[in-house]
Structure 1
């Protein structure tokens, strides 16, 4: 599909354990991460997304809501960690120790 030269194609992605959102669409050049998220409609489908506290990224690199998008970017909306990775590893090691001991 052809679009005017003043637009770029991007994706917005959000994933839950059993449900995903991936929307590819065109936005005007100069669109920010935050604007793209709103335009995608993901916040309507997933009310837990809070644009004031949520972390975002482009291709797995953290980025600020005001970051300008480039053609082909994939905006990712990150969910908060339920358990700190270090704490999760400690629990896993402790469980293995109990099983083998």
Structure 2
């Protein structure tokens, strides 16, 4: 399994608009069929640059699925966000390989 993580710092002036948009954007990314799930999280560390930081973690079954996403879908899906929020957001992307998973169950 691969996690494709997109971390975005969002300027306070467009925070609510961006948050509404990303909640619509994530289903479009999932609709590509290259990911099995996504999680939207808020980063709880305050940034020196200000703003609010979020992380979207998309889970892919394989590196090949992620590469197919890059090749066939990523540019088009990124363009909408760039057109609307380019000068008010800063994003970086990370690829993570899941080595093992653990969970705790409570009775």
TM-score by length of 1: 0.28
More helix by share: 2
TM-score by length of 2: 0.27
More contact order relative to length (CA 8 Å, sep ≥ 6): 2
